[in-house]
Amino acid sequence: MSEKSVTVTLQQRHDYRFDVDFGPGIAGLTTDEPPPLGTGLGPTPVQLLCAAVGNCLTDSLLFALRKFKQNPEPLHASVTAEVGRNAEGRVRVLKITAVMHLGVPAAQLEHLDRVLGQFEAFCTVTQSVGQGIPIELQVLDSTGQRLK
């Protein structure tokens, strides 16, 4: 990603429901809080944070593997945010756990150790979020073998 600013526009629809506009040519979405605050008609801010972390990590892993002309598809990831109260009693994201799955066995991928050792460092969102929220990462291959 090149260095630039990114702007997203939010327009309140009703109570805690907002339409999110990412700009021309990009599909928007509706966010909402779950009941009792909202109606749960869209993802929450915490879910969007999980999606951003997971998307950035899978993009970085895919990019790193493709640099070595490897085909790990289909990738998928599960990202969980642990939400609880901080020392001041305020609700916060306390920890994020990301579990990434390669679409093939590790034995089919060359340079995997090198890729696994460095791809996280290139993930803009995860490295930024990780400065304030601990992020635990696991990478598994298609057989369930834990690689990282």
Q: What is the pLDDT of residues 60-99, one digit of tens each?
A: 999 999 999 999 999 999 999 999 999 999 999 999 999 9
Give residue 8's Cα distance to chain centre.
Answer: 17
Cα–Cα distance for residue pair 106/141, rounded to 1 Å: 6
pLDDT for 2: 62
Task: Could you please state the CATH topology (level 3) that the domain comprising 45-140 is classified under.
Answer: GMP Synthetase; Chain A, domain 3 (3.30.300)
The shares of helix, strand and coil residues in the chain, as percent rounded to the nearest 5, are 30, 30, 45
pTM of the model: 0.92
Position 90, amino acid:
R
Residues 104-119: pLDDT tens digits? 999 999 999 999 999 9
Cα–Cα distance for residue pair 72/65, rounded to 1 Å: 7
Cα–Cα distance for residue pair 114/78, rounded to 1 Å: 23
**Tokens representing residue 147 in the block:** 């690689």
With cut-offs at 50, 70 and 90, classify the pLDDT of residue 1.
low
DSSP assignment letter at 24: T
The residue count for the chain: 148
Give residue 80's Cα distance to chain centre.
Answer: 9
With cut-offs at 50, 70 and 90, classify the pLDDT of residue 103.
very high
**Tokens representing residue 8 in the block:** 């997203």
